[in-house]
């Protein structure tokens, strides 16, 4: 039996090989012992006990996130528990009575409420089939020219991913085009272009808004803890152009790589509209979507925080009985746990001075700050290709915050956008994994586009954020 999910296949292979100690570091025990060893040598540098403890937790969390010895959300819970155990008791750190409420407070941070509101909207859009309507609208608008249809589907996916999760957006778009790809066959260049372009558009389009990608929310949340607030509209000022330009350039790359001109499409069956059996539910979701996004965009005018207006979809969609208790149980709560843990770890690193220590060492290197910012962006996209981009942002954003002057504000944003440029492997992003699971493309199909975005993504992120910061941030 073959397995389309490359990560599951790797796990099965790992279990068969049983190569002993070489792979033991991917277990929780192996990572724990490795963190202890690294922490032992770090203690010899003479820093305070609280710095040593947070460093140990950071190394352990990074190891667990990279190897996925336990699920990423469980790492987030473990980090919070570790901070409470270390700073809230005398078992590990005697006399270190840091208020633990600030670590628990990440569960109620603005970012958590913002993401939760986005989850409610995404679930409701799927329930009333607005996703399929969006696909049919795109097909009718762009016609049967392969190049134009690919562009339309990619831009539609990018726009949808700004208010829905990248994973949900990819799932709905892939399911919508499957009849077309099956009709063309897996060897068709257009099939490959669709199954590479749509997940790429979902990932890159997520740059456009705060809720479009979890790394965006982590960066905004970390800056908020530092007293630097970014509104929904302010993020879109640099995130939207970056995401849309990246999608367009990726489309150009796909059209140049694939010869789509000779393909003739028959899409008449795909644009037929089924009878709308629930017009009230559909209109209620559209009304809620317009009100919520409108409030997010006009925050500078009314002054209501986006976290507060995120309650609008939660209240209205349950009031209209679009979202019910069984739907709430299906929401990606694990993402919220991961984000809360990442924010708590970042707060601890800043609070004990660990980020200042790391940045002091980096600043001593013979490279200018602009070079440090570029290095951060490249590291972000590289490690996001082999681990969760959320975890990558949780690791790098707190470090970027410690940079001096404007760079302490800009680098976390650059890191967040760069994390959304990881497209090299099927496991680099859930969107790629969904496309790969269709069994119609091979792992190597992602390779050329992924290599392109390793260079193009950080470059666009650095340019857009720095231009925006220099023009509008004082």
User: Does the pLDDT value for residue 11 go beyond 60?
Assistant: no
pLDDT digits (tens, 9 = 90+) for 79-134: 889 888 888 777 777 665 667 777 777 777 776 787 788 778 777 877 887 766 76
pLDDT, position 274: 54
User: Does the pLDDT value for residue 349 go beyond 60?
Assistant: yes
pLDDT, position 14: 46
Range among 231-245, 333-347, 356-370 rated most confident: 231-245
Q: Which of 28-37, 103-112, 320-329 has the lowest mean pLDDT?
A: 103-112
pLDDT, position 1: 38
Residue with more model confidence, 261 or 159? 159
Strand positions, DSSP E, 309-467 = none
Give the whole-angstrom CA distance, residue 159 versus residue 172: 13
Residue with more model confidence, 391 or 257? 257
Cα 410 to chain centroid distance, Å, stands at 18
For residue 113 the two structure tokens come to 């409420």
User: Does the pLDDT value for residue 29 go beyond 80?
Assistant: yes
pLDDT, position 251: 93
pLDDT, position 461: 94
User: Does the pLDDT value for residue 159 go beyond 80?
Assistant: yes
Give the whole-angstrom CA distance, residue 34 versus residue 40: 10
pLDDT digits (tens, 9 = 90+) for 215-245: 898 898 888 877 888 888 889 999 999 999 9
Does the model's pTM come out above 0.75? no
Residue with more model confidence, 377 or 355? 377
pLDDT, position 28: 80
pLDDT, position 73: 79
Percent of the chain with pLDDT over 90: 14
Closest CA to 77 of 342, 322, 312: 342
Give the whole-angstrom CA distance, residue 284 versus residue 272: 23
Average pLDDT of the residues in 411-438: 82
Average pLDDT of the residues in 341-358: 79
Give the whole-angstrom CA distance, residue 170 versus residue 158: 10
Residue 268: exposed, middle, or buried by beta-carbon count in 10 A (0-12, 13-18, 19+)? Answer: exposed
Closest CA to 83 of 62, 109, 56: 56
Give the whole-angstrom CA distance, residue 380 versus residue 414: 9
Closest CA to 65 of 339, 330, 347: 339
Indicate the Cα dihedral angle 257, 435, 180, 452, nearest 10°.
-20
User: Does the pLDDT value for residue 256 go beyond 90?
Assistant: no
pLDDT digits (tens, 9 = 90+) for 169-204: 777 777 677 777 877 788 888 888 999 999 999 999
pLDDT, position 132: 64
pLDDT, position 4: 44
Strand positions, DSSP E, 169-260 = none
pLDDT, position 96: 59
DSSP state of 365: S
pLDDT digits (tens, 9 = 90+) for 277-316: 578 888 888 898 888 878 876 776 777 877 788 888 889 9
State whether residue 95 is helix, strand or coil: coil
User: Does the pLDDT value for residue 21 go beyond 50?
Assistant: no
Residue with more model confidence, 68 or 151? 151
pLDDT, position 86: 84
pLDDT, position 7: 46
pLDDT, position 141: 78
Average pLDDT of the residues in 31-47: 90
Closest CA to 160 of 129, 114, 206: 206
Mean pLDDT of the chain: 80
Percent of the chain with pLDDT over 70: 84
């Amino acid at each position: 039996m073959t397995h389309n999910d490359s990560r599951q296949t790797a796990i099965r292979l790992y279990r068969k090989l049983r190569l002993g100690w070489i792979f033991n570091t991917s277990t929780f025990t192996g990572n724990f012992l490795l963190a202890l060893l690294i922490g032992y040598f770090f203690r010899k540098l003479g820093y305070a006990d609280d710095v040593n403890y947070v460093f140990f937790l950071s190394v352990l969390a990074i190891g667990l996130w990279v190897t996925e010895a336990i699920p990423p959300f469980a790492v987030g819970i473990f980090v919070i528990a570790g901070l409470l155990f270390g700073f809230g008791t005398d078992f590990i750190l005697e006399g270190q009575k840091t208020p633990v409420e600030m670590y628990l407070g990440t569960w109620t941070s603005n970012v958590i409420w913002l993401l939760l509101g986005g989850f409610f909207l995404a679930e409701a859009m799927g329930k009333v089939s607005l996703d399929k309507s969006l696909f049919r609208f795109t097909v009718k608008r762009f016609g049967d020219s392969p190049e134009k249809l690919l562009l339309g589907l990619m831009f539609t996916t990018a726009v949808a991913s700004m208010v829905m999760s990248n994973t949900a957006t990819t799932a709905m778009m892939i399911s919508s085009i499957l009849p077309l790809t099956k009709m063309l066959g897996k060897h068709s260049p257009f099939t490959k272009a669709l199954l590479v372009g749509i997940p790429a558009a979902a990932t890159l389009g997520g740059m456009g808004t705060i809720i479009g990608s979890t790394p965006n929310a982590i960066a905004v949340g970390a800056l908020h803890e530092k007293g630097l607030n970014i509104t929904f509209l302010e993020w879109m000022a640099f995130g939207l152009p970056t995401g849309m330009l990246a999608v367009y350039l990726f489309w150009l790359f796909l059209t140049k790589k694939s010869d789509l001109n000779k393909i003739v499409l028959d899409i008449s069956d795909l644009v037929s509209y089924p009878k709308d059996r629930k017009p009230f539910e559909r209109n209620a979701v559209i009304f809620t979507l317009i009100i919520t996004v409108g409030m997010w965009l006009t925050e500078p005018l009314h002054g209501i925080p986006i976290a507060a207006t995120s309650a609008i979809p939660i209240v209205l969609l349950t009031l209209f009985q679009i979202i019910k208790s069984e739907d709430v149980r299906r929401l990606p709560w694990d993402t919220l746990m991961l984000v809360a843990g990442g924010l708590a770890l970042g707060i601890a690193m800043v609070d004990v001075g660990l980020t200042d220590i790391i940045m002091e060492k980096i600043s001593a290197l013979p490279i200018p700050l602009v070079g440090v910012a570029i290095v951060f962006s490249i590291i972000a996209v590289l490690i996001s290709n082999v681990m969760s981009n959320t975890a990558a942002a949780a690791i790098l954003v707190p470090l970027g915050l410690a940079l001096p002057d404007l760079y302490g504000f800009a680098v976390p944003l650059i890191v967040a956008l760069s994390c959304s440029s990881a497209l090299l492997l099927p496991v680099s992003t859930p969107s790629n994994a969904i496309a790969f699971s269709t069994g119609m493309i091979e792992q190597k199909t992602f390779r050329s586009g992924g290599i392109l975005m390793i260079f193009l993504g950080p470059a666009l992120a650095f340019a857009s954020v720095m231009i925006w910061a220099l023009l509008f941030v004082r």
